[in-house]
Structure 1
């Protein structure tokens, strides 16, 4: 097969050439590309040509009889630059191939049908202000879809359409550069530049494309900060605490960002030690603050020279400096009414506990710091001295004692002293005063253990009975030193002796042997303890020593003497009979007491008992007088002590012990009877089951100081016989009645035996 234009034969069966065709054919007829011909073709129509491959049948067609190839569609090189086709010559009759299949290429020739394009446009760029001429800003690239290897269709040339005289563009490379010196951002910041790209080397008839570049000038530090004011006037009250903001100043900088950051400092002035300046977080403002406490009375105004500065310009050759500026700040201190000021921030005082009431501890004084110097008045905060141990003089501030101090009860007193301006009570200040109570030797030592012990019946002479130690509430600086001894009346005690060990302890030792329970079971030994303080304090305690039966190891078995006087052959039945008799007697006694009681002892809160106590001192009507009065008059007519169930008794340590003399009768003295009755009344007052309105009628105590002399039936022999009362002879039944009303009579009778 060979192309129709070739005259030379080749050995191959196909004679053909590479085909070329221009793109963008716009004719009405199919575009002839070329012809295929086989040397076996005799022209008789016996050969049929077949075309296969890329675009066969759709883009390209072949005349199967002549072999002519046509393009039936518009070709675009930018879409596809060449097509690979295959040709086959077939016998039309037998449909067999006459030659092997051959391949050929159809190339599309380029024409200038595409303009240059800026794929990444439009563009944005920045360049520092004050940049030199020729400084590169950005490089632009335009692409042309035409064939760069064929003609000038794809050769692009750049030019600037807008943006002169500030910027220019390189015609070959597309680099945009600065073309004007000293461009100032503070004058103009943004520029719009239009760049054109034209193919065909820029010749006439070439295609062109354009793009836009937005160029902004970036800031450099080429402007110094400038204060808006040459003088700032500020004021602050003298009571302003440290750190208070006085005011703000601003040094304006035309630069932006970090180039406009300004740091402030005080460089001169008489207020450099009193005020401070700092830069706020935005790095724009200076903040004036109080550095030290202010005092209007000391200084009323201050002057500050404040400087604002930032970094130097980046362009050293174009340094326009200086990049600092200064201003004057005048600060006035305003007077305020201040509270009094104490001489010290706190006071620690010492005072011995034996100081007399009214002793001046110290003068806690304060003054008015204002120029008016108002008078100051003093007082003690009630909440700090609830028990009122101290008093402060109103005008002088002298702190003195109001009560007796006791270190053992409270060794530190923490009080708060208040100072107030007389002309302005709202101005109050306070100070803490700590008073330490110093110890004096005002407490006697005492034995620190139980005052009861025992000695075995089989004890020998010189045997240890009890080891003694003592306690002292005082705290002498060198430490306690105790001395032990027997009281004078027991110095010659035949049974026991005391040994002082000289180490703050002592021993009680037996002086003899041969002890017997049947002779004596209890011994009382008075022991004296003395300290070595100044003054010397001592106390005497009675040690009760019981004689007991012990085993061979010294362990106590029994201390009852009766157990050793019973017959040895007493049977168990006899013991049971004795106990039964005792039980029957107790039951009878209890029943007898119940029958003599007028009312049962029931805790009835609703019962309202109104018995009366008649004070005989007022010469009343005796038993017919029903006007009640305070029972405390029986204790002493001149002293009134209300012992009521609904009131706190003032006698807080009234003993339940009744002396033996009280049992003997009224002849023993009215003091004993009075003590016993008061003890019983106190028991009733403290008993929640006793009605709240108890009273008692008795005439055993006449009273004293009667203005009408004695008219009592107890001492007047001229009394009316119809109203003669034998109180002395009738005292026994009346005393029994009192015992029935207030409980079983408690008595105790013992005599100390050594």
Structure 2
């Protein structure tokens, strides 16, 4: 503690002593003027001031003391005296007033206006403000008139060691690879000190490690942290906690200090090889396992992490290198053993493999330490499984001639049970592949026979599927495709490729080729088609035409002479026999039609009809047909026009004064409204003589459609009404198109010859008509009979 106090006193008074030594010689050597700033307590200066005042009257000051010091953080019972201002114009009569202005004047710094003493009123902090700029002036106390120009000076706050070092960026995190050599750079830390770095040692820092030795070290002045211990192993310890101290005063006793922490993590390097958890692995697998399915997993552990722990697996030895394969699981880093080829318990029951795990990313620095790989042995046992039958071939190709006999054997398929306890096999045809059931198979021996005739020209190939099933276990089924090719036999005769019609010019020349014809044959001989052409025996010496076989298997028809005439014979028929080269050969007779035509001089056919001779010169048959069609069209238009005009002029109601017959209908119900208004053709009701035939109802369509019945024959006048009604009732009973319900007929026609224009005229007493109504005496009983029939229940019949 005494040493600390001594250091503080030295730091405080040393600057003042240096300042005193610097200022005093200047005071005694420099001439004083009227305005001078002097330190307090200088009696010699005051004496010389009085002497100079009596001799000289100068306004220019000789020097200015422009800097003062005050110690920071100083506190005491009284304000601290910073300094004194004094002018040579002050005779000591208290007529001069000192004024202080500037930074902190009146608050932090206060001046005695009589003596010029400046005191610091508050505790100052250099780190908050290091210096203050003030202005001093002497004025007349009575008039406040300035006695001299203002004088500016600075008060500096003198630093003391009152701030400890701080690590602003802490705490720190750093990484360094494991197995690093001594002195490998780890990181750098930085501390700051708020004290004055240019004054004393208050901000001079020294760094040291409090915790973290002997693994790491730090340079005292640069704060660089390095490794201090070789071959630090991450797998042994991954993280280190280091405490760093920064101390000011150059690290000497009494200085202030601050600390921070640095967390240092060792990063991984590939310094460890993979290692299998066990040296021998055992797996068992069923023989019917699918190719690509996993058998088991092996794992080589690696103490490293990340990419340094990744390994690849390989099968390096064993009797199943071509049967199994091993791959790496990217997520778990396991080695997955999979089936590469089908297994067979009956062939081989176990396998032994040697697998190897090797690091993918190898660090060259550690290769000398040993190989970064490990091996293990894997034993795989194959277990027996009930397997389906196995065909002797994966596919079958059979051939049969299209004329093969029914039930003849086409071919045979064979299959066996691969299991030790062999089961009998039964064969069948998948009928989805033989919908027409053209083939059969023997369930015991697998012989395929023909069930229906074949026709190569209809279907050349038949693809069926044969099913083999174990008799002891029907779930064990195998299938095999069988392709059956139908072989050709010569069972089709050749014929013309198309219907030929040849044209012969009247002005043709002898030997001229009229037509070239070709033949086709539905058969397909191995050596291709070769056709023979000939005329019928009875037409071998045809006087008009001859034939010639061409090299391209076609036939040329040639004329024997010229001078053919359409007037003499317009068409010639030439039968030709076509034979193939099959065994036995097939032949057919095709007839070629040769038409004699009129041709131009260069042989272009113009007309082949005899009527062309009687046509006007320059008018062709096509033009004549066009003219005739126009004439027919005009006639049709005229007929339609006349018919339409007649229908238009025909009255809707036929007025015949001599026909006084009227229809009287009795209605016992109120009808069905608008529906019954469309039951019959209203125009017919308006004109009873207009239509005498069947008119179907328009409101309801019958479920069954019948032919319309014949129109009712008109009844001559004077016929018996009873007979008329009975006939109509009989027709209604036997008419399937008659509606089975009552119909209300609305009549817009009220009868012919009615003077009043209404049916009510029959009972009108005021009618002026001369019409004779005596006919009622004759037809009254008949209408009465009609009413009786209607009331009995025949209301649904047509009346």
Structure 1 length normalisation: TM-score? Answer: 0.67
What aligned pairs does 1:278-427 form with structure 2 within 5 A after superposition? Answer: 278-282=327-331, 284-310=333-359, 316=365, 321-427=370-476
Partners of 1:315 and 1:477 lie apart in 2 by 74
Partners of 1:415 and 1:426 lie apart in 2 by 21
1:558 aligns with 2:609: yes
User: Quick one: which of 122, 130, 142 aligns to 2:171?
Assistant: 122
User: Quick one: which of 37, 43, 49 aligns to 1:2?
Assistant: 37
Over residues 612-666 of structure 1, what are the superposed CA-to-partner deviations in whole Å (9 max), with x where a residue is unaligned?
Answer: xxxxxxxxxxxxxxxxxxxxxxxxxxxxxxxxxxxxxxxxxxxxxxxxxxxxxxx
**Structure 1: segments with no counterpart, 5+ residues:** 565-575, 577-603, 609-754
Over residues 230-265 of structure 1, what are the superposed CA-to-partner deviations in whole Å (9 max), with x where a residue is unaligned?
Answer: 322211221222221111111222332233223222
Which residue of structure 2 lines up, in the alignment, with residue 269 of structure 1? 318
Which residue of structure 2 lines up, in the alignment, with residue 223 of structure 1? 272
SS of 2:432's partner is helix
Query: CA 1:78–1:535 in structure 2 vs 1: closer, same or farther (change >3 Å)?
Result: same
Which residue of structure 2 lines up, in the alignment, with residue 751 of structure 1? none
Over residues 598-621 of structure 1, what are the superposed CA-to-partner deviations in whole Å (9 max), with x where a residue is unaligned?
Answer: xxxxxx98789xxxxxxxxxxxxx
Contact 1:18–1:106 (CA under 8 A) maintained in structure 2 = yes
Contact 1:378–1:395 (CA under 8 A) maintained in structure 2 = yes
Contact 1:14–1:38 (CA under 8 A) maintained in structure 2 = no
Which residue of structure 2 lines up, in the alignment, with residue 506 of structure 1? 555
User: Quick one: which of 194, 201, 212 aligns to 1:152?
Assistant: 201
Which residue of structure 2 lines up, in the alignment, with residue 40 of structure 1? 89
Over residues 141-200 of structure 1, what are the superposed CA-to-partner deviations in whole Å (9 max), with x where a residue is unaligned?
Answer: 322211233233223333433344544544444444445555443333333333333323
Partners of 2:512 and 2:436 lie apart in 1 by 52
1:54 aligns with 2:89: no
Count of aligned pairs: 570
1:18 aligns with 2:53: no
Q: CA deviation at 1:381?
A: 2.2
Partners of 2:557 and 2:358 lie apart in 1 by 94
Partners of 1:433 and 1:239 lie apart in 2 by 25
Partners of 1:383 and 1:562 lie apart in 2 by 68
Indicate the structure (1 or 2) with the bigger Cα radius of gyration. 2
Partners of 1:520 and 1:198 lie apart in 2 by 141
Q: CA deviation at 1:297?
A: 1.0
Partners of 2:64 and 2:502 lie apart in 1 by 151
Q: CA deviation at 1:497?
A: 4.1
Q: CA deviation at 1:135?
A: 4.7
Indicate the RMSD between aligned Cα atoms, in angstroms: 3.7
Query: CA 1:391–1:135 in structure 2 vs 1: closer, same or farther (change >3 Å)?
Result: same
SS of 1:258's partner is helix
Query: CA 1:67–1:546 in structure 2 vs 1: closer, same or farther (change >3 Å)?
Result: same
Q: CA deviation at 1:356?
A: 4.1
Query: CA 1:122–1:494 in structure 2 vs 1: closer, same or farther (change >3 Å)?
Result: closer
Partners of 1:94 and 1:42 lie apart in 2 by 17
Contact 2:597–2:605 (CA under 8 A) maintained in structure 1 = no
Over residues 18-49 of structure 1, what are the superposed CA-to-partner deviations in whole Å (9 max), with x where a residue is unaligned?
Answer: 20110012224332211222222333344333
Which residue of structure 1 lines up, in the alignment, with residue 677 of structure 2? none
Query: CA 1:250–1:100 in structure 2 vs 1: closer, same or farther (change >3 Å)?
Result: same
Query: CA 1:261–1:461 in structure 2 vs 1: closer, same or farther (change >3 Å)?
Result: closer
Q: CA deviation at 1:111?
A: 0.9
Which residue of structure 1 lines up, in the alignment, with residue 577 of structure 2? 528
Query: CA 1:518–1:178 in structure 2 vs 1: closer, same or farther (change >3 Å)?
Result: closer
Which residue of structure 2 lines up, in the alignment, with residue 246 of structure 1? 295
Higher helix fraction: Structure 1 or Structure 2? 2
Which residue of structure 2 lines up, in the alignment, with residue 672 of structure 1? none
Which residue of structure 1 lines up, in the alignment, with residue 485 of structure 2? 436
Partners of 2:362 and 2:504 lie apart in 1 by 108
Partners of 2:364 and 2:494 lie apart in 1 by 94
**Structure 2: segments with no counterpart, 5+ residues:** 1-35, 50-57, 616-627, 629-702, 708-799
Contact 1:363–1:399 (CA under 8 A) maintained in structure 2 = yes
Partners of 1:314 and 1:501 lie apart in 2 by 87
